[in-house]
Structure 1
Amino acid sequence: MAVERLHWDDLPNTTRAAVEKHTGTIWSADTVSEGLNSAIAAVLDTATGPVFAKGLRCDYPRRWTQDMEALINPHVTHLSPRLLWRVDDGDWDLLGFEAVDGRHADYRPGSPDLDQLVETMTTLGQIRCPELPVKAAEHRWRTYVTDPADLDWFAGDRLLHTDYNPVNVLMSGGRALLIDWAWPTRGAGWIDPACLILRLMAAGHTATEADQVAARIPAWTQAPAEGVAALARANVHLWQEIEDANPTPWVQTMNRAARDWLTYRT
């Protein structure tokens, strides 16, 4: 479920003052409408330059996603905006990132953004997952397989993003930057292209067209057919569970894409 979006001025004075210790005076704050998982998401105009701030209340059940973003950022600064500071005052947990002048990616068929995203994902696919406490892919999908042996296909040593919602890809300066690293995962490198495929299908690609885009990412060429089928089955169960809890149009579209992809692969 989406988190209620608040404005910068809704934060306690003490929290905003704690941020200004890092930024200097904050002249203005423009709330960002996109995204589902942050109570605060705003571009701050500060004495030290623009900053993108995002955050959650410290007692929010999924505040751990802030920990994941802070944990992984030093390892992906060549692919993502750099984390500049973190403020945790016991009430609010806020992350401050380099503000990027860009727009969200267009995943529709024929979009030139896909060329740059393929380049970024190719680079990411070359990164071994650091020795950090992130979830393993076989753990992430364990409740969605009917045969536990299927999980063996998902194991690997690559760093995965896994959430390729187009709002998590910023087009800036001729590059595709990955944001919102709430779900970093250690696993087989072909899993990220598989996650992208469902998003491409949701944006209007056929299964064949989405497969052709993914085929330009080296990690996808190494994907075992049995493993891809196992993940496709797991994703059908995952998106059905999400739709059961939250039957919004975009979730229903993702569920249909997952089912169509499973049909295509099997």
Structure 2
Amino acid sequence: MGRRPDTEAEAGGAPPVAAGVRTDWWAVPERVRRAVEARLGSPVHSAVTQNGGFSPGVAARVRLADGRRAFVKAVSPEPNPDTPDLHRAEARITAALPVAAPVPRLLMSLDLDGWVVLVLEDVDGTTPVQPWRPDELRRVLAAAGELAALLDPSPVAAPSVADRFGGRFQSWRRLSAAHAAGADDLAWLDPWARRNLGRLTAREAGWCHAAAGGALLHGDLRADNVLLTGDRVMVVDWPWAAVGAPWFDVVAMGPSVILQSAPDTAIRLLDEHLAARGADEEDVTTVLVALTGYLLRKSVQPPPPGLPTLRDFQRAQGRAAVHWVRERTAWG
């Protein structure tokens, strides 16, 4: 009997994409646009909205009247009231990163009338091809390792991964409690996960210790947060930065890679990379178990304002993560 497909890619369907609700640059209030242009010293001549990523608001490559180019991100509290604080965090982190880091330079930031605007160096690059090509995946994994080494110890004050994700990465415990209380029959959950709920809950409990470390982490590494240039791999969008084990970002991006690839090839390349970097196998599995529970539990909750595709993407990542956990644990 054939194994039931664990991912949309295996089932033959197109995986969901990381896509938010974008706002056109010209829809930003004129007072805010004029303030940005005054700081830049030239008006915006043209703006091309960029797709990809979940953050609502403006994400545009702009050309100024004097010929310079830049990348602009801008949000207001509508439709998602949490996003402005994420942009403020990104501005603080990006401004403090070392010059050697492969990260677009922050040119300016502005907080005006509820709008938060970041203007960054424009990078002439492209996101990795989807489905992932093995050569590009190897290139990005190598770059992630180099970036973690550059940022260890962290040059920026940031919360630990335990503080950043601690409340989120207790999902198996919460699912188990809801099931025991009769509040959720977990019929929506993968049958393998239901059978191993106790093991998953116990394993999740040790994730904070497993993920501890001193490296500055991106915290949200995916294909849509990477730009490939002729000679560099640039990592963008840093609002979730945290301090922890230098391999954490690779584990965290793993479910999206498996989802957007041939799963067995992706898992092999991920595991080979982690082993080559000396990541403890048990610690990796523990963190992966906690991440998997988070993705699955979040996937059945209502979508956040302005992020209509997020839950579908989390659900697909959760299924991909289950595949990886099954491979690593060999639990029946």
Q: What TM-score do you get using the length of structure 1 for normalisation?
A: 0.89
Determine the structure 1 residue equivalent to 2:210.
153
Three-state SS of the structure 2 residue aligned to 1:52 is: strand
Deviations 1:82-133 (A, max 9, x none): 110111113311000111111111254544322331332121121122341x
Aligned pairs, number: 264
Match of 1:237 among 254, 270, 293: 293
Determine the structure 2 residue equivalent to 1:54.
73
Kindly report the root-mean-square deviation, in angstroms, between the aligned alpha carbons of the 2 structures.
Answer: 2.4
Instruction: Report % sequence identity.
Output: 24
Match of 2:154 among 106, 117, 129: 129
Structure 1 ranges of 4+ moved more than 6 A: none
Match of 1:21 among 10, 19, 38: 38
Q: Residues 83-94 of structure 1: matches in 2 within 5 Å?
A: 83-94=106-117
Higher strand proportion (structure 1 or 2): 1
* Larger CA deviation: 32-41 vs 8-17: 32-41
Which structure is richer in relative contact order (CA contacts within 8 A, separation 6 or more)?
Answer: 2
Q: Contact 1:194 / 1:214 at 8 angstroms: preserved in 2?
A: no
- Please tell me whether residue 70 in structure 1 is matched to residue 91 in structure 2: yes
Opposite residue 265 of structure 1, the aligned amino acid is R
Three-state SS of the structure 2 residue aligned to 1:104 is: coil
CA separation in 2, counterparts of 1:175 and 1:159?
19
Q: Contact 2:84 / 2:115 at 8 angstroms: preserved in 1?
A: no
Match of 1:225 among 281, 284, 289: 281
- Kindly tell me: are residues 125 and 107 of structure 1, through their superposed partners in 2, closer, same or farther at Cα, counting changes over 3 Å? farther
Match of 1:8 among 13, 18, 25: 25
Determine the structure 1 residue equivalent to 2:52.
34
Q: Contact 2:207 / 2:290 at 8 angstroms: preserved in 1?
A: no
- Kindly tell me: are residues 203 and 169 of structure 1, through their superposed partners in 2, closer, same or farther at Cα, counting changes over 3 Å? same
CA separation in 1, counterparts of 2:271 and 2:129?
16
Determine the structure 2 residue equivalent to 1:265.
328
Q: What TM-score do you get using the length of structure 2 for normalisation?
A: 0.72
- Please tell me whether residue 202 in structure 1 is matched to residue 259 in structure 2: yes
Q: Contact 2:127 / 2:224 at 8 angstroms: preserved in 1?
A: yes
- Kindly tell me: are residues 152 and 234 of structure 1, through their superposed partners in 2, closer, same or farther at Cα, counting changes over 3 Å? same
Three-state SS of the structure 1 residue aligned to 2:273 is: coil
CA separation in 1, counterparts of 2:265 and 2:229?
28
Q: Contact 2:252 / 2:291 at 8 angstroms: preserved in 1?
A: no
Q: Contact 1:193 / 1:214 at 8 angstroms: preserved in 2?
A: no
Determine the structure 2 residue equivalent to 1:97.
120
Three-state SS of the structure 1 residue aligned to 2:71 is: strand
CA separation in 1, counterparts of 2:90 and 2:39?
19
Shift of 1:204: 1.9
CA separation in 2, counterparts of 1:164 and 1:205?
19
